[in-house]
Amino acid sequence: MSTSAPTSTSPTAQQVWRRARGLLLAAAILAVAGLTLAALRSGGEDGVLDPRSPAPNGSKAVSRLLSHHGVSTKILTSSAEVLAQTDPGTTLLVPFPDSLNSRQRKEIHQAARRSGRTVLLAPGPKATTALTSGVRTFPPTPVQPASPDCDFPAARRAGDTELGGFRYSANTKQADSCYHNQGHASLLHFPAPASDGAASTDTVLLGAPDPLYNERLDQHGNASLALQLLGARSQLLWYLPSASDTAPPEAEQRSFFGLIPSGWTWGAFQLAVAAALAVLWRARRLGPLVHEQLPVAVPAAEATEGRARLYRRANARGHAAEALRTASRSRLAALVGVPHPQAHIPEILIPALTGHSPAPPLPDAPAPDGPAVHALLFGPPPQNDDDLVQLADDLDRFEKDRISHTSASSPTDKDHLS
């Protein structure tokens, strides 16, 4: 039994490059854009409110100003250190109160009761509830210059200051409400007497951290307000949580599915049920298959040309050659009386073709001996397009030679009558 000629359909390097260059170009553009954004953002976001950062939104200028007035700044990266080092002679600054977990908030709240002054920068409703008492938080407003409008000495000496952000109100008459915006204070100062006869402490809430930024410290009364709020004690504890300190405690850690809202879980279940019903609906068999005629009749020449283009695009010369040889073997087998199932068996077809006494072959036609015919009808696939074209021409000439020989050797009606 003959086998199909092997064909290499693996794409060439040029074809792989042509197909992949679009994706590679898109990936390169994304990589360059990512590196550019990372470079542009590397100088600012990482140093926000960091007393060591000279970036526009850093706070190195505030630290230098405080050091000139005899106030030392100490950076603490864990809430446990804050709780251990706070005392009435320190000022505690918490730049990111809303980012704290429950353990951090609890320790900062305990430290605030021991510290001489605690300054919270832009605390939201969650932070004010956990770290203070009797304070109501209102939605933020844009940062803009505002006048103090209060009796708090630090605010009165600073004068107009750039403030905004969250707004607050306290339920005690001892609180100082300054820099009002839409009826509520952007700076709230209230004393918090400590228990057990200890020294009294106070807490300051700033609705926005803008007065402490390097780029805004020299505008209006921002520098004066920062100096008076943070320089009331000889030491300033600046709390910047580290990555290890911000990790939630084991009690707050949840699995991946625990982080998904319940509504999403119910919606995913409904989608799964709908998908299963759609699969059942599309998989139903309503009866036997029905053969339908094609809506458009495609000419045989166009179908042949289209198939040939597909072969050429895939470099499938072996498949194309085998299609040509299979068609020629079928036609030649019918000429010499070989049954169709045996037309593709070399041991049967070749002797049948070479057993007849052939007529003189056509010009450039292959010799009718067995090896030449075998190489023509069952040979290896062509190596290039020129060999494929030559094979088609040789098959065509060989068929014409066989047809002319069969027609010449077949008896006519006149011969039978004679």
CA distance 199 to 379: 105
Which pLDDT score is estimated for 212?
93
Which pLDDT score is estimated for 195?
52
What's the average model confidence in pLDDT over 23-39?
79
Of 288 and 227, the one with more pLDDT? 227
CA 202 centroid distance within chain: 48
Which pLDDT score is estimated for 194?
53
Rg of the chain taking only CA atoms, in angstroms: 45
29 has pLDDT over 70 = yes
Which pLDDT score is estimated for 33?
82
The secondary structure of the chain in percent helix, strand, coil, rounded to multiples of 5, reads 50, 15, 35
Which pLDDT score is estimated for 254?
61
Transcribe 266-279 into DSSP letters.
HHHHHHHHHHHHHH
Model pLDDT for residues 219-270, shown as the tens digit of each residue: 999 999 999 999 989 999 999 988 777 665 554 556 666 667 667 778 888 8
Distances (CA, A) of 148 to 106, 185, 317: 32, 9, 88
**Please, are residues 186 and 165 in contact by the beta-carbon 8 Å criterion?**
yes
Indicate the domain borders of the chain. 45-239, 315-408
Q: Please state which CATH number belongs to domain 45-239.
A: 3.40.50
**Please, are residues 157 and 224 in contact by the beta-carbon 8 Å criterion?**
yes
Which pLDDT score is estimated for 364?
47
Which pLDDT score is estimated for 193?
58
Model pLDDT for residues 64-119, shown as the tens digit of each residue: 999 999 999 999 988 899 999 999 999 999 998 998 888 899 999 999 988 999 99
CA distance 385 to 358: 31
Instruction: With CA atoms as reference, report the closest residue to 125 among 145, 111, 143, 105.
Output: 105
306 has pLDDT over 50 = yes
121 has pLDDT over 70 = yes
**Please, are residues 132 and 176 in contact by the beta-carbon 8 Å criterion?**
no
Show the DSSP H helices in 236-345 as ranges: 262-283, 300-313, 317-336
Show the DSSP H helices in 69-204 as ranges: 79-85, 102-114, 125-131, 153-158
Of 261 and 125, the one with more pLDDT? 125
**Please, are residues 314 and 384 in contact by the beta-carbon 8 Å criterion?**
no
**Please, are residues 136 and 117 in contact by the beta-carbon 8 Å criterion?**
no
What's the average model confidence in pLDDT over 113-136?
91
Instruction: With CA atoms as reference, report the closest residue to 224 among 211, 233, 207.
Output: 211
Beta-carbon-side half-sphere exposure of residue 241 (alpha carbons within 13 Å): 20
Question: Which residue type occupies 299?
Answer: P
Averaged pLDDT score across all residues of the chain: 81
Which pLDDT score is estimated for 349?
86
**Please, are residues 111 and 92 in contact by the beta-carbon 8 Å criterion?**
yes
What's the average model confidence in pLDDT over 302-312?
82
**Please, are residues 15 and 314 in contact by the beta-carbon 8 Å criterion?**
no
**Which pTM does this prediction carry?**
0.52
Which pLDDT score is estimated for 209?
93
